[in-house]
């Protein structure tokens, strides 16, 4: 498709299903996008760091605090009943959205980081020196550091599945890493640096054929695609509400029922027990076993509202729009002299990491900001991947379904401006 045709397909509003996408109407759902920064309209291209929230989510959280706020699973008064019902309905909503076999397979936590720490502690409690976890070169530190800590505590080994220069997993190397001591494969669904959408179902198939369970870091996936945990057949799946248009401070660890049942708790406190004496404790069943203390129930209700919002969008049109953004952005950036895109996988989420000759990424970020273009610069909490590419930092434009082709034009123009100032 030509650039112009791409631009039309992504912006058409004449109801030409399935590529119609009423971008103006969608942008109106996100109040923060209406503002100006430095005297120009905001172009928010930092969605992989955190996404913006539609009015429906903001209202759901505010309404909860206005009308229903009470601690959950504790008292029997009316507000407590309503809050508990809302919280458990949110669990049902999440379970249904990711196609969990039961809502009890959904554990509410702070986010992806906490979910992976829970697993490194809970699974790791049974691991011995020489047991192995397999990661990949493209993991976020959230899926590296907890395993480092476990290595220090228990003497486990960390093995690494390599990536190709294009930024794809080398799955052929996977069987060689899955020996009798391998206890887990933990890999990202979508790379926060490269945009690569990994063939997770295939990785799970290979790992399971070797008797190895799989944890998927889904932090970057749910903003762009529906995830079906049963179709993936993964054992665990972790994600964060704030990256999928929901509130901060709420996230999910999905686990197959039998996997969660076998997992010890990692934090102790109220509401995760059946019976406590000073001599003995009997823990509650999952998911409560992993939800010690007062939970972010308002966040869970906001996350359910984000899912309702996503469910109301045309998934095919959204995917079409995002891929049109990606193609257009790739073409525009490739045309800029001295610009190199890192991450050329065949299947990508709409995210571009790049370097520009003679311009440090941090300077680039500052100059783009002057033009109202918000991007992220740095190592993106993925230092091993930066080492692989031999670069200290990149500039990353990460797009969401509410971004426009005009914002891509503004990004490209702002990069030209930065080159003019610095190169
Ligand atoms: N995994 C990936 C791939 C990420 O991109 C991030 C955040 O950027 C995380 C994990 C950590 O997510 P959170 O900070 O919400 O726990």
Q: Which helix (H) or strand (E) holds 58?
A: helix 55-63
Of 243, 265, 125, the C-alpha closest to 184 is: 125
Which tokens sit at 333?
Answer: 């950036």
- The radius of gyration of the chain from alpha carbons, rounded to an integer in Å, stands at 22
| pLDDT value of residue 10 | 45
The answer to whether the CB of 113 is under 6 A from ligand 1 is yes
Q: Is the pTM of this model over 0.85?
A: yes
Neighbours of 285 (CB within 10 A): 12
| pLDDT value of residue 402 | 98
Of the residues 109, 178, 324, 381, only one is catalytic, namely: 381
The answer to whether the CB of 192 is under 6 A from ligand 1 is yes
Contact of 184 with 192, CB cutoff 8 Å: no
| pLDDT value of residue 423 | 67
Q: How far is the CA of 282 from the centre of ligand 1 (A)?
A: 33
Q: Which atom of ligand 1 is nearest to the CA of 49?
A: 8
| pLDDT value of residue 234 | 98
| pLDDT value of residue 15 | 35
Which tokens sit at 418?
Answer: 């930065």
**Atom 5 of ligand 1, residue of closest alpha carbon:** 192
Q: How far is the CA of 112 from the centre of ligand 1 (A)?
A: 6
Active site residue 381: yes
- Which of 50, 167, 192, 246 maximizes ligand 1 atoms within 8 Å of its Cβ, making it the mutation to test the pocket? 192
What residue ranges of the chain have pLDDT lower than 70?
1-19, 423
The answer to whether the CB of 220 is under 6 A from ligand 1 is yes
- Angstrom CA distances, 10 to 5, 33, 47, 397, 403, stand at 9, 18, 19, 18, 10
Query: What's the CA gap between 58 and 397, in Å, rounded?
Result: 25
| pLDDT value of residue 270 | 87
Q: How far is the CA of 217 from the centre of ligand 1 (A)?
A: 8
Query: What's the CA gap between 179 and 212, in Å, rounded?
Result: 9
| pLDDT value of residue 120 | 98
Q: How far is the CA of 140 from the centre of ligand 1 (A)?
A: 7
Of 65, 51, 19, 56, the C-alpha closest to 306 is: 56
Query: What's the CA gap between 292 and 289, in Å, rounded?
Result: 7
Q: Measure the CA dihedral 47/58/229/148, to 10°.
A: 60
| pLDDT value of residue 20 | 79
Q: Which helix (H) or strand (E) holds 338?
A: none
């Amino acid at each position: 498709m030509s650039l112009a045709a791409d631009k039309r397909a992504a912006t058409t509003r004449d109801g030409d299903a399935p590529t119609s996408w009423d971008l103006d109407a969608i942008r109106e759902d996100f109040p923060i996008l209406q503002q100006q920064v430095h005297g120009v309209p905001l172009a928010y291209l930092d969605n992989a760091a955190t996404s913006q929230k539609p009015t429906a989510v903001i209202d759901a959280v505010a309404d909860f605090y206005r009308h229903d706020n009470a601690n959950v699973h504790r008292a029997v008064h009316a507000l407590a009943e309503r809050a508990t019902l809302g919280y458990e309905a949110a669990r049902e909503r999440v379970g249904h959205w990711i196609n969990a076999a039961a809502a009890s397979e959904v554990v509410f936590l702070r986010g992806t980081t906490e979910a992976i720490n829970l697993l490194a502690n809970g699974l790791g409690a049974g691991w011995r020196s020489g047991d192995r976890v397999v990661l990949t070169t493209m993991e976020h530190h959230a899926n590296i550091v907890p395993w480092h800590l476990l290595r220090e505590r228990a003497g486990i080994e960390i093995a690494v599945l390599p990536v190709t220069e294009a930024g794809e997993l080398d799955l052929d190397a996977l069987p060689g890493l899955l020996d009798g001591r391998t206890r887990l494969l933990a890999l990202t669904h979508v790379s926060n640096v490269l945009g690569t959408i990994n063939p997770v179902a295939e990785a799970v198939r290979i790992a399971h054929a070797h008797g190895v369970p799989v944890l998927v870091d889904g932090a970057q996936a749910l903003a762009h695609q529906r995830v079906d945990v049963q179709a993936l057949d993964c054992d665990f799946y972790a994600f964060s509400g704030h990256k999928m248009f929901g509130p901060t401070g709420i996230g999910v660890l999905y686990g197959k029922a039998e996997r969660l049942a076998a997992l010890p708790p990692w934090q102790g406190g109220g509401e995760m027990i059946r019976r406590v004496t000073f001599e003995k404790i009997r823990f509650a069943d999952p998911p409560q076993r992993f939800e010690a203390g007062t939970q972010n129930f308002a966040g869970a209700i906001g996350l359910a509202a984000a899912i309702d919002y996503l469910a109301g969008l045309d998934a095919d049109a959204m995917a079409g729009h995002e891929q049109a953004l990606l193609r257009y952005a790739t073409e525009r950036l490739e045309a800029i002299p001295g610009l190199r895109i890192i991450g050329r996988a065949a299947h990508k989420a709409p995210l571009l990491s790049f370097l520009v000759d003679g311009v440090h990424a941090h300077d680039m970020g500052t100059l783009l900001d002057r033009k109202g273009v918000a991007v992220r610069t740095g190592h993106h909490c993925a230092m091993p991947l930066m080492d692989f590419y031999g670069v200290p930092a990149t500039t990353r434009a990460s797009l969401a379904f509410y971004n426009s082709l005009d914002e891509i034009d503004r990004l490209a123009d702002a990069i030209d401006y930065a080159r003019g100032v610095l190169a």
